[in-house]
């Protein structure tokens, strides 16, 4: 069995979300036009430079309710894009949920403060499985059995946590602080501990923490200089700072750059050749 069954389960959760159902009809037309019907590997990869434009195709305002709905939509759109590019690789992107993320990985990223357990505001998780990972049969027990296999191979597994927010200025400090928590080395005298049930992020082959924003601010209010506080707060997080636009040096990277930076071990060839192979083979989200 292959990783594609796990990708299928992860995407089924996205497809069931009301916001996605409402927006996809509009987004799909836009995305298809930009990629020649999802047949041009280069243009498919470059969608990361244009996801803000695609997202705004269904934008209707900035009320709290609409912003919340927009946030859910942005998480879905980013998850879809990640899985599109990762199709045919040994990596899967998923919205964090007990139904799709192996419990062992949730345990490894759990933070205990005193006696209180909490998890980061991780909207999306990307898991990279080793080449020789043995996937269970695609039946009703798939996730339970997948968790057992992950527990055996955790030292060979990479995990990337991605926090998604539509607004940058109001939220930059949150991923900065969570990244500090995960990177921090706490002595035995502190009340902060990472991991539970015997699992810890240190058990993983690699761990990254990233931030991805639309952003929804008007053009003049979007952070544009390395000296601005939202930019400074995210300049050193382990997985990098991304947005749905072209890369602006010193400010933010296009989301299309996250694959080489954080998930390169998922690819046997360069990213665009991998996408072309997935298109030609009609595998993953290119079926």
Question: What pLDDT, in 10s, does the model give residues 50-75?
Answer: 999 999 998 655 444 454 458 889 99
Per the domain annotation, does 281 fall within a domain? no
**Which residues, at least 6 apart from 164, have a Cβ–Cβ distance to it below 8 Å?**
71, 74, 75, 78, 123, 124, 211, 212, 213
Judged against a pLDDT cut of 50, whether residue 160 lies above it is answered with yes
Of the given ranges (18-27, 61-70, 140-149, 233-242), which has the lowest mean pLDDT? 61-70
The model's confidence at residue 182, banded by pLDDT at 50, 70 and 90, is confident
Under the banding of pLDDT at 50, 70 and 90, the label for residue 12 is very high
Q: Does residue 12 lie in a domain region? A: yes
Phi/psi at 50 (5° precision): -130, 10
The count of domains in the chain is 1
- Structural domain contains residue 286: no
The reported pLDDT for the residue numbered 61 is 52
Residue 287 inside a domain? The answer is: no
**Any idea which of 86-95, 229-238, 277-286 has the lowest mean pLDDT?**
229-238
SS3 266: helix
- Asked if residue 173 belongs to a domain, the reply is yes
Share above pLDDT 90 across residues of the chain, in percent, rounded to a whole number:
70
**For residue 117, what are the domain limits?**
4-275
Report the run of H or E that residue 125 belongs to, with start and end.
strand 124-128
CB neighbour burial string for 13-39, b if at least 16 within 10 angstroms, e if fewer: bbeebebbeebbeebeebbeebbeebe
Least confident of 13-22, 164-173, 265-274: 164-173
At residue 122 the predicted structure's pLDDT band, cuts being 50, 70 and 90, is low
């Amino acid at each position: 069995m292959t990783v594609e069954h796990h990708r299928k389960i992860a995407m089924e959760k996205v497809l069931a979300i009301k916001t996605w159902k409402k927006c996809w009809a509009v987004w799909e037309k836009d995305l298809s036009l930009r990629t020649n019907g999802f047949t041009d590997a280069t243009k498919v990869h470059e969608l990361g430079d244009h996801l803000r434009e695609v997202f705004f195709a269904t934008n209707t305002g900035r009320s709290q309710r609409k912003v919340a709905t927009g946030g859910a939509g942005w998480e879905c759109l980013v998850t879809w894009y990640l899985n599109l590019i990762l199709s045919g690789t040994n990596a899967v992107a998923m919205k964090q949920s007990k139904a799709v993320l192996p419990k062992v990985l949730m345990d490894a990223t759990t933070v205990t403060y005193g006696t209180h357990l909490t998890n980061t505001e991780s909207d999306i998780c990307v898991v990279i499985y080793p080449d020789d990972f043995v996937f269970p049969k695609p039946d009703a027990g798939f996730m339970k059995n997948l968790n057992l296999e992950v527990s055996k191979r955790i030292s060979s597994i990479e995990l990337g946590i991605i926090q998604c927010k539509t607004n940058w200025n109001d939220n930059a400090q949150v991923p900065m602080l969570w990244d500090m928590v995960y990177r921090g080395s706490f002595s035995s005298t502190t009340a902060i501990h990472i991991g539970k049930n015997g699992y810890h992020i240190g058990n993983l082959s690699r761990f990254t923490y990233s931030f991805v924003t639309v952003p929804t601010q008007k053009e003049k209010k979007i952070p544009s200089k390395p000296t601005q506080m939202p930019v400074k707060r995210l300049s050193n997080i382990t997985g990098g700072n991304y947005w749905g636009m072209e890369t602006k040096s010193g400010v933010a990277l296009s989301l299309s750059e996250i694959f080489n930076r954080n998930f390169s071990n998922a690819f046997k060839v360069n990213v665009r050749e991998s996408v072309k192979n997935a298109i030609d083979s009609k595998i993953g989200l290119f079926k």
